Amino acid sequence: VPLDFWETARQKLDLVKNDLFWLGETEDINYHQVFDATYAWELLHMLEAINKGISHIADLERVLNKYATRFPGDAIRLAFTSNHDENSHSGSEYERMGHLVKPFAILTATWKNCMPLVYSGQELPNKKRLKFFDKDEIEWTGTNWLHHFYKTILTLHQTNKALHAGNPSTIKRIKTPADDKVFAFTRQAEKDQVIIILNLSSQHIPALTIDNFSINGKYKSAFSGIEHNLTGPQTFEMLAWDYLVYHRTVK
């Protein structure tokens, strides 16, 4: 639908109800003149390419840098590992992303200006392709194995100001001795801070030493709830496809 239609539509609707949230199923930068958020398809396809070994962390950085420099500063990107179209046409996230499903889900919920989308059944997890037009029910078992995982990252996204999409925040890559395998970064807004460390490889890293933390102090592990003092050089053990999420929320 041409952009000028939406420009007129928003002008008229804002006069009646100006608190609507506008989500555009497009990745055309120009549509952010009207829409609050658009789909981050290029990021999705990059994540799939990394799983296949076609692309690497440097390619991921290129896409994220494009989002940061070419899109408006308050442009929200709807980020996801699966949705109705992708599941039916291309397969579940497990077909497309393999063991990287969890690290990539964390990335879509924590990168700057990303708003995470969760598709029905991911908390199960549902690993089958659902029919696109015919009724095809999710096979609920009564046990949602990933309920805690998704609840944790979505709650953190909601409660920690550093992760709020569209709000001013700083983001900084953390350099590691294994930057060809590990993607790490920090987010900060006011006094709220988050540290994300993702092992995007099949290799076990027994001692990952990071000595350039720009954020020091006591942080809580999002998944274990254990408090850690991250002041000074830190050494982490990371299993294959592992993820570490630390946060500090100031009330």
User: Residue 134 contacts by C-beta under 8 Å, 6 or more apart in sequence?
Assistant: none
Report pLDDT for 46. Answer: 98
Helix residue ranges per DSSP H, 111-164: 147-159
φ, ψ for residue 180, nearest 5 deg:
-80, -10
Its sign, for the CA torsion 147, 148, 153, 154, is positive
Report whether 247 contacts 195 (CB < 8 A): yes
In angstroms, what is the C-alpha Rg of the chain? 19
Distance CA 147, CA 128 (A): 18
Distance CA 110, CA 189 (A): 13
3-state secondary structure 53-68: CCCCHHHHHHHHHHHH
What pLDDT digit, counting tens, does each position of 79-91 carry? 999 999 999 999 9
DSSP string, 177-223: TTTTTEEEEEEEETTEEEEEEEE-SSS-EEEEEE---SS-SEEEETT
Report pLDDT for 232. Answer: 83
Tokens matching residue 179: 């930057």
Question: What's the whole-model pTM score?
Answer: 0.95
Which parts of the chain have pLDDT scores under 70?
A: 213-215, 250-251
Tokens matching residue 246: 């630390």
Report whether 207 contacts 158 (CB < 8 A): no
Report whether 174 contacts 195 (CB < 8 A): yes
Taking alpha carbons only, the member of 150, 163, 153, 166 closest to residue 77 is 166
Report pLDDT for 216. Answer: 76
Report pLDDT for 211. Answer: 84
Report pLDDT for 251. Answer: 59
Residue whose entry in the numeric block shows the structure tokens 């590691």: 176
What pLDDT digit, counting tens, does each position of 20-60 carry? 999 999 999 999 999 999 999 999 999 999 999 999 999 99
